Amino acid sequence: MIGIIDLTVEFEFVKTLVTEAARTAKKRCQGVRAHEKSNHSYVTDLDNDLERLIRIRLGERFPDDVLSGEEYGIEGGTGERRWSIDPIDGTGNMVHGLPLWAISIGLLVAGEPVLGVIAIPPLDELFWAIKGQGAWLDDRRLFVRDSDTFHNQDNVCVGTNALRAVDPRSLPGRLRDLGSACCEQTFVAANRLQATTFLGEQAHDVAAGVVITSEAGCRYGTIRGESLSPAEMVPTFVAPPRRLKSLMAMARPLA
């Protein structure tokens, strides 16, 4: 496990970079050109342009670091640090005019997420976290609210892939699917959702969000009752500790 390290320089650089990318995305989001990738998800010219911009800037500033992302392969240096980029998380939402999509940059050191910055341009919100320094929405620190149970009006998010594996009848609350892993993670950290459920997301989907949710007080687990660390990247469930325990006790696999 990586100890607390000084990432002030990296954070200030990435915060500025994500803010610039968010301004560009807001200007261009209504005129994007979309096409389907081999996995039938959408990609647009904006996804490609933003990822190239982010890679160029990070590569110039941190030439020893590895660069990875959704649209392009691994490149850059050969050090133990890796930047994980999602230029638009929730591209399908953006294409259809649904204002829930995000720009995400996470930093991993020796495989452990240690810094995350997520902008949600349609909401003009910036979420960020550094390991050991808390989670923040702009200048407001985030702390998740916990409980031993779920109210039937609590918002519990279940991603499309998770719905193919988890029996939704076994889950509590009001079930949602926002179509953006970054929005879902940050909204749990901000108490807009009480939990979220993933399955099969990639590192770029969750690298930044894992830092934000863990620093806000969330923990991670699987439908088999296993607890996971942030370094394991793709938990099934994300929730505050007591809610997580309750959720894992109730959830059942889809027959």
In terms of C-beta density within 10 A (0-12 exposed, 13-18 middle, 19 or more buried), how is residue 36 classed?
A: exposed
So what's the pLDDT on residue 55?
98
Q: Is residue 80's pLDDT more than 90? A: yes
Q: pLDDT band for position 40 (50/70/90)?
A: low
For residue range 213-229, list pLDDT tens digits in order. Answer: 999 999 999 888 889 88
For residue range 108-134, list pLDDT tens digits in order. Answer: 999 999 999 999 999 999 999 999 999
Q: Which residues pair with 50 in a beta bridge?
A: none
Spell out the residues 6+ positions from residue 84 whose beta carbon is closer than 8 angstroms to its own: 68, 69, 104, 105, 106, 107, 108, 203, 204, 207, 208
Q: Which amino acid is at 176?
A: R
